[in-house]
Amino acid sequence: MTAEPEPRDARPMVSIENISKSYGHRQVLFDIDLTVAAGETVCLIGPSGCGKSTLLRCVNNLEDIDRGLVLVDGSLVGYRVHRGRLRELRENAACRQRTQVGMVFQHFNLFPHLTALENVAFAPVRVRGEDKAAARTHALELLESVGLADKAGEHPSRLSGGQQQRVAIARALAMRPKVMLFDEPTSALDPELVGEVLNVMRDLATRGMTMIVVTHEMGFAREVASRVVFMDGGRIVEQGPPHEVLRNPRHERSRAFLSAVLR
Amino acid sequence: MTEQASRAPGLADGVSPLARQDAVPVRHYGRGAVAVLVVAVVAMTAYAFAANPKIEWPVVGEYLFHPDIMAGLTRTLLMTAMGMAFSVIGAVVVALMRMSPSRIISATAAAYIFVFRGIPLILLLIFVGNLGLFVDRITVGIPFTDLQVFSRPVQEVLTPFAASVIGLTLAGSGYMAEIVRGGLLAIGRGQREAAKALGLNSLRTTRFIVLPQALRVIVPPMGNELISMLKATAIVSVIGGGDLLTVAQAISGSNYRTIEMLLVATVWYFAVIALLTAGQYILERRIAER
C-alpha cells in the first residue's frame, strides 16, 4: 500500500480547533477540539445523530463549518489567511486540498459506469494528470493489496458489498492521501462481509496510515484504535485508549451507550 | 384449509395417478372474443382504405419517389436532425442553468422552459416565421457602440427553413431540458460527494461522473422526443418550411389528388419512424446491457 511506515510520533496530522456547526437552527457541533497525530488511528463512536459523521466530513471540507479551524498536515482546510482574515478557498484550490485526504463512505459510492480498475485509476488521471498507464499499474497494485486483482475488470454491480467497499478503499488510496477518513464503512454490509473490510483497514493502520474512523464496530475499535473518542449531542464526552474508554467509561452517557452496544 | 380438502384422492397410497398428468389451464373465452373483434375492426378499416374507389393507389405509387417529394423528405430529415442536435445541446445548457445555485440563473432557465413548453408549436413557428414583421435587421455587435460584426435584414437571414429549425429547437430544448434535468437528478448525491472527495471540481464531476450515468436515464425518452420532432416538422408547413408535407400539399394543389398526396407523405413518415423505432430499440438494449 502507499503509506510508508512511519514512527508514531507526536506530529499532528489533523488538528481540529474549536469548531462549531449548525444546520439552520439546529446546532450539531459545539466547540470541538481534536488532534490526531501522524500514524494514529482514531475511532469516533457515539449514538446516531451525535455529530460524529459531520465532524468527519468537516476534515475534508465536505461540510462548511460556522466557526473554528481544521488543519491537515499543518495547512488550513477550506480557507486561506489573507491580510489577517480567513477567506474561503476558490473551488479548484479546495479540490486540490481534498486530494490529501481520502474518504470512504458508508454506501461505497463507487462510480457504477466504470470498472473497478477505472474507479481506482480515475482520479489520479483526471485530477492529478498522472500518466494513464502508470495510474493503471498503480491501481492494479492497490486492487491486489485489497485482494481484488481478479475483479479489476468488473463493474461495481457485479461485486459484493464487501468487495465494493474494498475497491472504494483502493480508490481513496490511489490519490496517496495523508489521512484516510472512514464514515461507517461496514454499516451497510451483510454481517459475513464485515470482516474482509476490517482486515484491509487493520492492515492500513499497521502500515502507519493516519486514520479517523466513524464506526459501530467495537471489536475493531478495541483492537486497532490508538484512541477512542466518544461523542454525544455534538460534543466530545470522553476520549482515551480503547481499553479505558470501552472498558471503564467514566461518564454516564458513554456508559449507557456502551452497555447498549456491547450487550 | 382442512386437511381433508387439501388432499387429492389416492394421495395416501404412494404416487397418485394425478401426479403423472399435466393440469388443464383455465380457458380465457373473453380474451378470444375480444381478439376476434379487434381483428374485424382492423380489417374493415384497412378494407375501407384499400378498396375505396375515390383513392387511386397507383397515383400514390407514382408520386412516392417524385423528385419534389424526395427533396421535401430530405429537408424534413435535415430539419429533424438539426432541430434535435440543437435541442439536445440547448436542453443540457438549460437543465444545468436550472440547477444552478444562483437564483437568477435558475429562474431564467425556469422561465425559458415555461415559455417554450407552454406555447403551442404552431404558434411559435408562425411567430418565428414572421419575425420580419416586428424586427427589421439582425445585428451582432457591441451594444451602445458603433461596432458591428454582422448586420443583415431579417428576411435575408431567416429563410423558412432557418425559421423552422429555430422554432423546433426552441420548443424541443424547452421540453428536453426537463428530461435532462430529471436524468441529472436521478444520480444520487453520493456520486457527487465521492467525486468531490477525490478532488474533482463540479465541472469535471458533471462531465465524467454525472452525465454518463444520467445518459442511461435520458436516452430512452430522448428517442421518443426524436420521433415527436420528426412528426412536428410537418407543422412547419404553416410557414412553408419546404418539408415533406409542404411539398405534398403543393403538388396536390396542382393535381387535385389531395388524399393520395397525403398518403404519399404518410408512407414516408411511417418508413422513417419504423427505422427510428428500430434504432431506439437497439440503443436501449445496448444501454441496458451495461
Residue range A171-212, pLDDT digits in tens:
999 999 999 999 999 999 999 999 999 999 999 999 999 999
- The predicted pLDDT at position B105 comes to 96
Q: Give the residues across from A85 on adjacent strands.
A: A82
Residue of chain A nearest B216, judged by CA positions: A113
Residue B37 has pLDDT above 60, yes or no: yes
pLDDT of residue A6: 47
Q: What ipTM does this complex have? A: 0.89
Q: A-side interface with B, Cβ within 8 Å?
A: 60, 62, 91-92, 95-99, 101-103, 105, 107, 109-113, 122-123, 126-128, 155, 168, 171-172, 175
Cβ neighbours of A98 in B, within 8 Å: 196-199
Q: What is the arithmetic mean of pLDDT over B270-285?
A: 90
Record: contact B194-A102, CB cut-off 8 A? no
Min Cα–Cα distance to chain B from A85, Å: 25
Over 80: is that where the pLDDT of B6 sits?
A: no
User: Does residue A144 have a pLDDT over 80?
Assistant: yes
Residue type, B201: N
- State how far the Cα of B119 lies from the Cα of B225, in Å rounded to an integer: 17
Mean pLDDT value of segment B131-155: 78
Average pLDDT along chain B? 88
Residue A130 predicted with pLDDT over 50: yes
Interface contact A172-B197, CB threshold 8 A: yes
